[in-house]
Amino acid sequence: MTTFRIRRPSQDDAQAVCDLVAACDTEDLGAPDVVLDDILDMWSRFDLENNVWVVEDTDSALLGYAFLEEDSDEKLFSYGCVLPAARGRGVGAALVAALQARAAQLCSESGITKRLQSMIPTLCEDAVQLFEAQGFTPVRYFKRMAIRLNTEPAASITPDSFTIKPFIKGRDEQAVYEAYIESFADHWDFAAPPFEKWVEKTQLPSFDERWWLIARNSSGDVAGFALGRMREDLLFIEQIGVRRPFRGRGLALTLLQSLFEESYRAGQPHISLGVDTANPSGAYRLYEKAGMKPDYEISIYEKVLQFPSE
C-alpha cells in the first residue's frame, strides 16, 4: 500500500526541504552541504509548478525532494534525495519516474532529443542501483575539495601587470560574463547561459560583491575571475576561470589564495569548491597545490531521451 504522495512545493516548504537535504547530506556525504538561502536562491530560478517535487507521508512529513533544471535546449539537469529513514519504500523510484516523465514531456513539446542528467553521491549504492536500473549511465565524476584555515594564510602574490579587485555591481556584469563564457568554453558539457539568466545571480539577496574577485591586465581587460558565495558554514567558490591568453601566469592560484585571505579575515576559515576530476586544465592539481583536500565524490548519471519519446 502506498504510504506517501507526490506534490508540488510552495515557498512554505523551503525550510523543511532544507532540513531534508541536510539530513541526506549528513547520511551520504558526512556533513550538511546546504543552507536555507541555497534553497531559496534555487527556487527563485525554478519553475515550481512543473519542475520541482516533494514527497510526503500521511502525516505531511517530507520524505523526498527532487528538481529538474532546463540547462539548455538539449540538456536537463536534476537532483533528488530521500530521507534516510524512508529509503526502501519506493520514494526514490517515484521521484525518478516524475523526473523522467517531465523530461519526456519537454522532449515531446520541443521536438528535441534531451539528455537527462542527475547528480548522486558516488558511494550511495541504492541511488546508483536505482538509476542504473532505469537506464542511466555514469558520464562524469566531481570531487568536492575543501580547506580549513587554522592560521592566517600567506599573502598572495599577484603576477606583474595584473590587479585583483572585487566585482562592482552595475559596471562589471557584461565583461565578467564574456570572460566566463570564454574561460569555460572548452569545459566538459558546457552550455553558455543567456546573459539575462547568468546575471540573475548578482540580483539575489545573498549576493555579495566581496566574494567575486576579478583579475585585470594593465589595459583593464578581465583576465580571470573567482566567483564565491558566503554561506553560514563556509565560503563556497562556484567558479574560477582564466581566459586562454592569460593562462600559465599563476592567476588562478592567486585568485584562489586571495579568496582564502578575504574569507579568513571575515572570520570564515572553511572554504569549499567542486572540481571535475577529468578537467584537462589541471584544476584538481591546482587546488591540491593550494592545500585543498577531497571531501567526497559526486557522480553525474545520464540518460538520453529520443524524440519522439517511446
Residue 290 is assigned to a structural domain of this protein? no
Residue 225 is assigned to a structural domain of this protein? yes
* Sign of the CA dihedral running 48, 50, 53, 57: positive
What digits encode the pLDDT tens for the residues 290-307?
999 999 999 999 999 986
106 lies in the same domain as 53? yes
191 lies in the same domain as 212? yes
Residue 205: the pLDDT is: 87
Cell triple for residue 31?
556533513
Residue 310: the pLDDT is: 45
66 lies in the same domain as 183? no
Residue 252 is assigned to a structural domain of this protein? yes
Residue 285 is assigned to a structural domain of this protein? no
The CATH code of the domain that includes 96 is 3.40.630.30
Domain span at 15? 4-141+299-305
Please tell me the pTM assigned to this model. 0.90
74 lies in the same domain as 16? yes
Q: Which residues of the chain have pLDDT under 70?
A: 1-2, 307-310
The strands making up 235-242's β-sheet, listed across from edge to edge, are 4-7, 52-57, 62-70, 75-82, 114-121, 293-305, 137-148, 270-276, 235-242, 222-230, 212-216, 163-166
Residue 101: the pLDDT is: 97
What digits encode the pLDDT tens for the residues 96-153?
999 999 999 999 999 999 999 999 999 999 999 999 999 999 999 999 999 999 999 9
Q: DSSP readout, 171-196?
A: TSHHHHHHHHHHHHTTSTT--PPPHH
Cα distances from 76 to residues 121, 170, 291, in angstroms, run 18, 31, 34
Other beta carbons less than 10 A from residue 87's beta carbon: 19
